[in-house]
């Protein structure tokens, strides 16, 4: 399920406030290259250094339909996907995703309308690529969860290690790729403890606003 995402096909940055779609793309055997997951968002920042995209409540979400397998029955294997998608929307709490350009991860935080929630979610993935409709990447299953205590000390744990192992057991992830993902997790952990960007950033500039309209999917969002 591992393949490379192409270089930027849109060189002009998105303006603050523009609606975009974030997509995770994979190659699914006979179906070829396709969208695995997509979520609409609103651009807060897009420049040479960072992309920041917020998904308010109600933002459109698309995920592959099919019978779930693996841990918690959450994974839809390529053989179980019929090519259709479930239409959904972002629920719970608005999320802000910060991607340092070129990094193999994005950092997610949730804001409940009053405060930022304590967990920092580091999504391991291919570096984002700017497209005419938003940003493309490729999710790598394994994630890192960080939390800072009152004294400023960080604690870090991994999430979905069992799902990555399941993919490896099914032959969908090679041992070399699995090792690369794990090394990326170690690099992300180092970035947390070092206080690298965006762990040292002022997130108040990216606080979701309650009057933001929920962005919807653009036309041809599933064109790979």
Residue 5 has pLDDT above 90, yes or no: no
| Banded pLDDT at 86 (limits 50, 70, 90) | very high
- Spans of all domains in the chain: 19-201
In 3D space, the residue among 219, 220, 212 whose CA is nearest the CA of residue 94 turns out to be 212
Residues of the chain with pLDDT > 70, as a percent, come to 97
Quick one: the chain helix, strand, coil %, rounded to 5? 20, 40, 40
pLDDT for residue 29: 79
In 3D space, the residue among 151, 132, 144 whose CA is nearest the CA of residue 190 turns out to be 144
- pLDDT tens across 133-174, in order? 999 999 999 999 999 999 999 999 999 999 999 999 999 999
Cα distances (angstroms) measured from residue 71 to each of 43, 67, 78, 130, 162: 33, 13, 16, 32, 7
What would the mean pLDDT of 4-13 be, rounded to a whole number? 79
Q: How many Cβ atoms are within 10 Å of 120's Cβ, its own excluded?
A: 22
What would the mean pLDDT of 86-95 be, rounded to a whole number? 97
Q: Which residue has the tokens 């002009």?
A: 12
CA distance 113 to 135: 26
Whole-prediction pTM value?
0.95
CATH of domain 19-201: 2.40.380.10
CA distance 141 to 20: 23
CA distance 192 to 172: 29
pLDDT for residue 3: 55
Task: Please list, residue by residue across 30-65, b when 16 or more beta carbons sit within 10 angstroms of its beta carbon and e when fewer do.
Answer: eeeebbbbbbbbbbbbbeeebbbbbbbbbbbbbbbe
- pLDDT tens across 167-197, in order? 999 999 999 999 999 999 999 999 999 999 9
Q: Which residue has the tokens 């291919």?
A: 126
| Banded pLDDT at 130 (limits 50, 70, 90) | very high
What would the mean pLDDT of 95-117 be, rounded to a whole number? 97
Residue 1 has pLDDT above 90, yes or no: no
């Amino acid at each position: 399920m591992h393949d490379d995402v192409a270089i930027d096909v849109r060189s002009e940055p998105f303006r603050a406030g523009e609606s975009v779609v974030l997509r995770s793309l994979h190659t699914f055997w006979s179906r070829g290259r396709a969208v695995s997951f997509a979520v609409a968002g609103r651009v807060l920042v897009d420049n040479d250094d960072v992309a920041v995209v917020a998904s308010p409540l109600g933002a459109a979400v698309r995920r592959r339909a099919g019978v779930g397998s693996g841990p918690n029955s959450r994974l839809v294997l390529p053989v179980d996907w019929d090519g259709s998608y479930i239409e959904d929307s972002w629920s719970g709490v608005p999320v802000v995703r910060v991607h340092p350009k070129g990094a193999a991860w994005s950092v997610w935080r949730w804001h409940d309308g009053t405060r930022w929630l304590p967990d920092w979610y580091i999504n391991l993935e291919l570096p984002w690529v700017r497209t005419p409709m938003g940003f493309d990447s490729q999710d790598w299953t394994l994630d890192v969860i960080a939390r800072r205590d009152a004294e400023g000390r960080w604690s870090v744990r991994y999430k979905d290690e069992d799902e990555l192992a399941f993919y490896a057991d099914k032959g969908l992830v090679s041992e070399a790729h699995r090792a690369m993902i794990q090394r990326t997790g170690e690099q992300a952990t180092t970035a947390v403890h070092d206080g690298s960007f965006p762990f040292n950033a002022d997130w108040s500039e990216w606080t979701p606003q309650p009057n933001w309209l929920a962005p919807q999917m653009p036309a041809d969002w599933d064109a790979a």
